[in-house]
Amino acid sequence: MREDWQRIEQQILSPYATKSVQSKGRVIPEDECPIRTVFQRDRDRIIHSNAFRRLKHKTQVFINPARDHIRTRLTHTLEVSQISRTIARALSLNEDLTEAIALGHDLGHTPFGHAGERALAALVPRFTHNQQSLRVVDVLERNGKGLNLSFEVRDGILNHSGSDEPSTLEGEVVRLSDRIAYINHDIDDALRAGIIARTQLPTVPTVLLGDNHSSRINSMVTDVIMASSGKQKITMTEPVAFAMDQLREFLFDAVYFRPEAQKEEKKIWQIINALYDYYATLPVVPSDEYDNTVDYIAGMTDSFAINAYQSIISN
């Protein structure tokens, strides 16, 4: 069955797509699965990992939201996967590789979202959730054995944000889909939470992309597909890219760095610092899954980190 699917890939995928038979393979060689391609197998390993399950209790933007429909890191990941797969399918790229990268891109994210990441990076220079996600799949999962994923999936996870570009078009799709997803769902969540009003949204993006969540995503995804079709680069047209950047800047000003969020971030830094100071003094961290303080804290869910902090300060 795997060989049949590999032949289908050769027939239907774009010349620019990454075929599974072209994979650079795994760090530790393994026998091929008789049913699944290398990228399908990677996707399944990620879905069944401990780190993937913990994403449901990690912050996207809003910490411990009272509303049930506010996004978590898990729902963000699923939305990135959906957008990525839509674009990959339309461009005849490898949907399995795209999905695996999307599902794994935030496995190493800290509790409390990017505020938690900034707090931990202040204690551990050069810490990034990208590198931690790669460390999760390379080392921490399976009791220190790692998931032994393919080069292409690992590359996409590491380079889904930051200054370095992924080596595959599928990785580029996830990189752009991540931004499309969080810009749109963070606006949706901020509206739902009453932090912003629809009338506050910038005029140009509203006129160009639409005035609701669905319309904006559809406009962005359609633009990516049309602008990237037949090209060896995943891109957007300049007007849509400009409109998306305007929305992103608006989010930073009105949502991410609003005064209330800054107060909340101070509390997060207090929690992360207290956890780090405490666990760094112990001979070993209290978990068989991790072998150092940074891995242990980065792997925590929001609720686990809060409970651990309360336990520390009460003693």
Span 116-149, pLDDT tens digits: 999 999 999 999 999 999 999 999 999 999 999 9
pLDDT one-digit tens code per residue, 193-248: 899 999 999 999 999 999 999 999 999 999 999 999 999 999 999 999 999 999 99
pLDDT digits (tens, 9 = 90+) for 180-197: 999 999 999 999 989 999
Q: What is the mean pLDDT of the chain?
A: 95
Q: Are 171 and 157 contacting, i.e. CB atoms less than 8 angstroms apart?
A: no
Integer-rounded Cα Rg, in Å, for the chain is 20
pLDDT tens-digit map of 253-310: 999 999 998 999 999 999 999 999 999 999 998 888 888 999 999 999 999 999 999 9
Confidence grade of residue 66 (pLDDT, cut at 50, 70, 90): low
Distance CA 101, CA 42 (A): 9
DSSP state, 150? B
The percentage of the chain sitting over the pLDDT mark of 90, rounded to a whole number, equals 91
Alpha helices by DSSP H, listed for 13-64, are 38-47, 50-54
Retrieve residue 240's tokens. 């849509």
Average pLDDT over residues 101-106: 98
| 110-114, 159-163, 283-287: range with lowest mean pLDDT | 283-287
* Tokens 């079709």 belong to residue: 229
How many CB atoms are closer than 10 A to CB 294?
19
Q: In angstroms, what CA-CA distances link 238 with 88, 90, 174, 241? A: 21, 21, 19, 5
Rounded Cα–Cα distance for residues 97 and 100 (Å): 5
DSSP 59: B
Select from 1.10.10.10, 3.30.70.1450, 1.10.3210.10, 3.30.300.30 the CATH code of 33-314: 1.10.3210.10
Q: Which percentage of the chain shows pLDDT scores above 70?
A: 99
Q: Which of 51-65, 78-92, 274-288, 299-313 has the lowest mean pLDDT?
A: 51-65
Burial annotation 123-162 (CB, 10 A radius, 16+ → b, else e):
beeebbbbebbbbbbbebbeeeebbbbbebbbbbbbbbee
Look at the pTM and tell me if it is higher than 0.85. yes
Say how many CA atoms lie within 13 Å of 283 toward its Cβ: 0
